[in-house]
Structure 1
Amino acid sequence: MSFNRKNAYLKMAQKGLLDMLPLNLAVLPWGVLCGSLAIQRDFTIFEAILMPMIVFAGSVQLVVIELISDNAPLATILFTAFIISSRHFLYGLALREKLKNLPLKWRGSLGFLLTDELFALSGERQSYKSKLRLIYALFAGGSFYFSWLAWNIIGIVAGSILPDLTHLGLDFAIAVTFIALVIPSIVNLSILVTVCVAAILSVVFKVYNLELGLVLSSVIAMYSGYFTSKMQIKSNNKSRAMLNKKEEKIL
């Protein structure tokens, strides 16, 4: 029995590693960009390595590195990092019911590893509901963490040897990664509306150089999806009511 359980744990760990592997490889250019940018902005090697180890968020790393190199006030750096990372509060809220009864060691570990990529693999209703699924999430998220750290280290080495890598278009990997995460999640009209509104507004606000354009487009898109969902529910309820009336007349 013990052997069978151990074998099941190993299989779930392997599945977590394999399921996350495409995303681990997809963020390679992004990680290299973050590592090389830190070196090119006069971070020490220790500081450049410490950033992905502690922060573990690509978009935050890129922005914070630029702000630090521009000698921005600490309050500005913290507030900007908070705004960019605020979506993780939504991730946490979405998974709260699944994780709230777990021991602190599990909640702390999975909370630290909860990136966009791991959240994308957490859509199943049974996610985190058993020890096997927790091991799956731990190895999936853990493999992404160590891959991200490895890509950053490669970028640090490359940034120390090669000329400026920021002009090679590596930042396109950011857009590609998020597109790969978002497309499979479009399963109904409300999500489709959310994605389309966010995409259109983010481009419009970027064209007009609106500083909080990304935040505004995200908020407006979420409300658009929410109202679309409400309208769908009302429409479905109205259809059911009409159907029930027709059935009553027939009876």
Structure 2
Amino acid sequence: MSHNNNGKNQRTLHRAAFIKGQLDMMPLNLAVLPWGILCGSLAMQNGFSALEAQLMSLLVFAGSAQLVAIELIANNTPLLTIAITTFIISSRHFLYGLAVRQKVIAQPLRWRLPVSFVLTDELFAFSHHRKAYQNKTRLIYALSAGFSFYVFWNIWTLLGIVAGSLLPDLTDLGLDFAIATTFIALVIPSIKNKATLACVIVSGVCAATLKFLGVDMWLVFSALLGMSCGYVLSKGASS
């Protein structure tokens, strides 16, 4: 009887974790709607077929890299340039993986692989709890949230594909601003100390300045300057 009760309790916990993952990710699922529509419509307006546009979201699943790749492919950019550019844009995911590695390294491969696939900016924002990914219930929560975002991203892409086929150029509507607002929503809650605040301010000011001056790779330089400033301050605080 005790064994049956334990099993029932575990299933209840897992179900609750699954539902909570869906609900917690829902605001970000909705916030990314303009971004997904922009990806789908931009692909259609640059000569992609509906299948190619949808497969990009199904297989690549990286909004900023998709937008850049669509533009580069449409302009017949050499493959090596496309690969290097998208690698730089998506390199932050390598850092995400390193950040959560110690939390998932003890888990079986059947858990680590799906977590790595859905480890987007949005899921990483949910990964700062010290017990994240530490047991089956928390893994179910993470995968529920991550795959919820994946499903909605593809739904919004599909809407963009349909809209791009039926409506005029949607890029003039300013939907790309959804990219900025989504990242702002992810970053603000993580500002919990002076080093992080300095990193955000320095990155933002440098990005705006270098972009205005027309400096190539302004985004990369701004990110490096911001991280360097945050690192120096964090080391100073800990010493």
TM-score between both structures, scaled by the size of structure 2: 0.97
2:99 maps to 94
1:142 aligns with 2:127: no
Measure, in 2, the Cα distance between the counterparts of 1:153 and 1:209. Answer: 34
Paired residue type of 1:165: L
State the identity as a percent. Answer: 56
Match of 1:132 in 2: 137
For residues 27-50 of structure 1, what are the alpha-carbon distances to aligned partners after superposition, in whole Å with 9 as ceiling and x for unaligned?
A: 000000000000000100110000
Q: Which residue of 1 aligns with 2:236?
A: 231
Q: How far 1:232 sits from its partner (Å)?
A: 1.2
1:53 to 51, 55, 58: 58
Provide the rounded CA distance (Å) in 1 between the counterparts of 2:196 and 2:76.
39
- For the residues of structure 2 that align with 1:106 and 1:131, how far apart are their CA atoms? 9
Q: Flag structure 1 segments of 5+ consecutive residues without an equivalent.
A: 235-251
CA deviation after TM superposition for structure 1 residue 155, in Å: 0.2
* CA–CA distance in structure 2, aligned partners of residues 68 and 151 of structure 1: 21
What is aligned with 1:106? 111
Q: How does 1:6-21 map to 2 (within 5 A)?
A: 6-21=11-26
- Output the TM-score relative to the length of structure 1: 0.92
Q: Which residue of 1 aligns with 2:3?
A: none
**Displacement over 4 Å in runs of 4+:** none
> Does 2:30 align with 1:37?
no
How much has 1:7 moved relative to structure 2?
1.0
1:5 is aligned, of 6, 10, 14, to 10
How far 1:103 moved relative to its partner? Answer: 1.3
Instruction: Tell me the C-alpha RMSD between the 2 structures.
Output: 0.6
Task: Return the letter of the residue paired with 1:126.
Answer: K
Deviation for aligned residue 1:209 = 1.3
Offset of residue 4 of structure 1: 1.4
Deviation at 1:100, TM superposition (A): 1.3
Match of 1:207?
212
Distance 2:216 2:46 in 1: 23
Letter in 1 for 2:62: A
SS of the aligned residue for 1:157 comes to helix
Cα deviation, 1:115-145, whole Å, max 9, x if unaligned, reads: 0000001111110011100000000000000
How many residue pairs match? The answer is: 234
CA distance in 1, matches of 2:135, 2:111: 12
* Cα distance between partner residues in 2 of 1:216 and 1:100: 32
Q: Which residue of 2 aligns with 1:242?
A: none
Which residue of 2 is the match for residue 84 of structure 1?
A: 89
Displacement of 1:101 in angstroms is 1.8
Q: Distance in 1 between matches of 2:23 and 2:35?
A: 20
Counterpart code for 2:140: I
